[in-house]
Amino acid sequence: MKHRYLPTTERDKKEMLETIGVNSIEELFADIPESVRFKGDLKVEKQLFEPELIRYMSKLARKNVNTIENASFLGAGVYDHAIPSVVDHVIRRSEFYTAYTPYQPEISQGELQAIFEFQTMICELTGMDVANSSMYDGPTALAEAGLLSAGQTKKKKIIVSKSVHPEARAVIDTYARGQHLSVVEVDAVNGVTDLDKLKEEMDDETACVMVQYPNFFGQLEPLPELEEIVHQHKSMFVVSSNPLALGRLTPPGDMGADIVVGDCQPFGIPAQYGGPHCGYFAVTKKLMRKVPGRLVGETKDEVGQRGYVLTLQAREQHIRRDKATSNICSNQALNALASSVAMSALGKEGVRTMAEQNIKKAYYAKSQLENAGLTTVFDGVYFNEFVIKLNGSVKEMNQKLLNKGIIGGYDLGRDYPELSNHMLVAVTENRTKEEIDTFVKEVGGAQ
């Protein structure tokens, strides 16, 4: 069955050619030499009509592994968390679903209020003074923090712990190259930043030090000790943090962080094959005017009613290019809204309880794996991820687990050669005792 709106008819083609003043398609392409024109048919599959196409794509989709039918122990930056059903209902409303940048406050109050509330909740979680209206994702937010630090301190050196997510470090390198900044990576010891190595690398040219909390291995970095080392050299202290973990952990802002960034995926955003996500960016008040992106503020209109406006737009599309703090463009308002709705639905106690469940279930899984004879690596405090050592290949183990309906952990050997045969295991509140016990049985029985 053909659909009228899919093809152009011969009459459509004739009308278009007449409009532009040519008699045929051949005449239209007359300026292209015959020698470079493609001859024959393209090697593509035969076109499908809509019903056939839907069946074909549905068949392909069923081959995908999902976290609804499979218990996932895979984290490494993207996690399987519970999402309140109200999230989807709110973000599908047309006034939010189709909204872009709220340039006209008189008709964008709903969007502006949603962004304002997102900023407020991020400040409460991080312990910081000001948060912007969202970034692309956690890694780009962290890289932007590096640029802000370099601009603020007029220094050219960025120090990054190797316990920061490898993909985030790659993004930092890309950003730094364009700004002619040097990036130095500091080793991790026992799963956290090596403080002695950090002290050796610190100098008067260091713009900032970047750490992750909890870090890529799930461990909690000693932020007070790190802060003291960093600020002794008048450098900036940048912390990338899982916002869900901050529902239970001491916020970085309370431990001297200058900039706190992260990814809001744990709140209301499905894993969805790695994106899109929503980054957050929070700073102390003195850095407010250096923040990339936008800030939404609360005000009153001429009759005294509460209203919301864009109070600061420091990107190059809005102000003179040489005065811009960043050229980051589209904000992730829809995903920021999803996170806001999720946090609102959970409430303060709900977020705290959710974080505690991650801690307790991860502790249970780790202790059970140890009882089963597995070696767990690193002995520090962790949130919802930890590292285990296998006797063989993580890739092979994950294939065996997949055959049992389990998505296994992350293969750390991909990024850390010294951690070959080591698996990063994530345990969220979604994992049941039965699923954890099955995971332990399958992994422990194969050792």
**How confident is the model at residue 336, as a pLDDT?**
93
> How do the domains of the chain map onto residue ranges?
71-82+347-445, 86-342
Which of 74-78, 205-209, 243-247, 312-316 is predicted with the least confidence, judged by mean pLDDT?
Answer: 312-316
CA-CA-CA-CA dihedral for 384, 416, 64, 390, to nearest 10 = -70
Enter the tokens of residue 352.
Answer: 């705290």
Q: pTM for the whole thing?
A: 0.88
Which of the pair, 287 or 8, is modelled with greater confidence? Answer: 287
Cβ–Cβ < 8 Å for 113, 308: yes
Which of the pair, 147 or 4, is modelled with greater confidence? Answer: 147
Q: Among candidates 392, 362, 402, 393, which has minimal Cα distance to 378?
A: 362
**How confident is the model at residue 102, as a pLDDT?**
74
Residues 6 or more apart in contact with residue 130 via CB below 8 angstroms: 119, 123, 282, 283, 284, 285, 287, 288, 291, 295
**How confident is the model at residue 317, as a pLDDT?**
54
pLDDT of 378 over the 80 cut? yes
How does pLDDT run across 386-433, given as a tens digit for each residue? 999 999 999 999 999 999 999 999 999 999 999 999 999 999 999 999
* CATH of 71-82+347-445 among 2.70.98.60, 3.40.50.1360, 3.60.9.10, 3.90.1150.10: 3.90.1150.10
pLDDT band of 97, cuts 50, 70, 90: confident
pLDDT band of 3, cuts 50, 70, 90: low
How does pLDDT run across 287-335, given as a tens digit for each residue? 998 888 788 889 888 888 899 988 876 555 555 666 666 767 666 889 9
Which of 101-115, 188-202, 253-267, 358-372 is predicted with the least confidence, judged by mean pLDDT?
Answer: 101-115
pLDDT of 274 over the 90 cut? no
Cα(347)–Cα(349) distance, integer angstroms? 6
* CATH of 86-342 among 3.40.640.10, 3.10.50.40, 3.30.420.80, 2.60.40.10: 3.40.640.10
Cα(172)–Cα(147) distance, integer angstroms? 9
How does pLDDT run across 168-197, given as a tens digit for each residue? 999 999 999 989 999 999 999 999 999 999
Mean pLDDT of the chain: 92
Q: What is the DSSP letter of 135?
A: B
In DSSP terms, which residues pair with 306 in a beta bridge?
A: 300
Q: How many CA atoms lie within 13 A of 332 on its CB side?
A: 25
- Range 234-262 average pLDDT: 98
In DSSP terms, which residues pair with 71 in a beta bridge?
A: 406
Enter the tokens of residue 355.
Answer: 């974080």
Enter the tokens of residue 47.
Answer: 């076109």
CA dist 357 → 130, 241, 433 (Å): 29, 18, 12
- Range 111-117 average pLDDT: 91
**How confident is the model at residue 257, as a pLDDT?**
98
CA-CA-CA-CA dihedral for 70, 75, 79, 82, to nearest 10 = 60
Instruction: Please state, for a pLDDT cut of 90, what percent of the chain lies above it.
Output: 74
Enter the tokens of residue 361.
Answer: 């279930």
Cα(354)–Cα(373) distance, integer angstroms? 29
C-alpha 337 chain-centroid distance: 15
Q: Among candidates 277, 295, 353, 343, which has minimal Cα distance to 124?
A: 343
**How confident is the model at residue 120, as a pLDDT?**
96
- Range 273-285 average pLDDT: 92
**How confident is the model at residue 302, as a pLDDT?**
86
In the block, which residue shows the tokens 């278009």? 16
pLDDT band of 49, cuts 50, 70, 90: confident
Residues 6 or more apart in contact with residue 65 via CB below 8 angstroms: 402, 407
**How confident is the model at residue 318, as a pLDDT?**
57
**How confident is the model at residue 1, as a pLDDT?**
53
pLDDT of 50 over the 90 cut? no
Question: Helix axis angle, 394-403 relative to 433-445, nearest 10°?
Answer: 130
**How confident is the model at residue 327, as a pLDDT?**
65
Q: 35 exposed, middle or buried (CB, 10 Å; 0-12, 13-18, 19+)?
A: exposed
Which of 7-21, 90-104, 250-264, 334-348 is predicted with the least confidence, judged by mean pLDDT?
Answer: 90-104
pLDDT of 212 over the 90 cut? yes
- Provide the 3-class DSSP secondary structure of residue 411: strand
Cα(412)–Cα(419) distance, integer angstroms? 6
Helix-strand-coil split of the chain, %, nearest 5? 45, 20, 40
Cβ–Cβ < 8 Å for 430, 66: no
